Amino acid sequence: MTITIALIVLVALSFDFFNGFHDAANSIATVVSTRVLTPRQAVVWAAFFNFVAFLIFGTKVADTISKVVHPGTLTNAGIFAALVGAILWDIVTWILGLPTSSSHALVGGLAGAAVATAGWGTLVASEYQKIFVFIVLSPIVGILLAFTFMTGVYWVFHRYRKVEKLNRGFRRGQLFSAAAFSLGHGGNDAQKTMGVILALLIANGLLAKGSDVPLWVVLSAHAAIALGTLFGGWRIVHTMGSKITKLQPVGGMAAEAAAATAIWGVTLAGIPVSTTHTIAGAIVGVGTTQRLSAVRWGVAGRVVWAWVLTIPGAFVMAWLAYLPFRGLR
What are 123's strand-pairing partners? 69
Query: Residue 133, interface with another protein (CB under 8 A)?
Result: yes
Per the CB < 8 A criterion, the answer to whether 100 and 236 are in contact is no
Q: Which stretch binds another protein (CB under 8 A): 78-86, 140-148, 161-169, 187-195?
A: 140-148
Q: Which of 1, 10, 136, 206 binds another protein (CB under 8 A)?
A: 136
56 to 5, 42, 188, 218, 325: CA distances (angstroms): 29, 21, 11, 12, 39
Query: Residue 27, interface with another protein (CB under 8 A)?
Result: no
Q: x/- contact string, 144-163, with another protein (CB under 8 A)?
A: x--xx---------------
Q: x/- contact string, 90-129, with another protein (CB under 8 A)?
A: ------------------------------------x--x
CA-CA distance, 265 to 261, in Å (whole number)? 6
Contacts with another protein: how many residues (CB under 8 A)?
Answer: 20
Least distance from C-beta 133 to another protein, angstroms? 5
CA-CA distance, 242 to 47, in Å (whole number)? 22
210 backbone φψ class: left, alpha, beta (φ>0; ψ -120 to 50): left
Query: Residue 140, interface with another protein (CB under 8 A)?
Result: yes
How buried is 265 (Cβ within 10 angstroms: 0-12 exposed, 13-18 middle, 19+ buried)? middle
Per the CB < 8 A criterion, the answer to whether 273 and 264 are in contact is no
Query: Residue 303, interface with another protein (CB under 8 A)?
Result: no
Compare residues 128 and 234 and give the one whose CB is closer to another protein: 128
Crossing angle between the packed helical segments 163-203 and 215-231, to the nearest 10 degrees: 130
Least distance from C-beta 268 to another protein, angstroms? 13
Other Cβ atoms less than 10 A from the Cβ of 247: the count is 23
Query: Residue 288, interface with another protein (CB under 8 A)?
Result: yes
What are 69's strand-pairing partners? 123
The footprint of another protein on residues 250-269 (CB under 8 A) is 266, 269
Least distance from C-beta 291 to another protein, angstroms? 7
Positions in the binding site for another protein (CB under 8 A): 126, 129-130, 132-134, 136-137, 140-141, 143-144, 147-148, 266, 269, 271, 288, 291-292
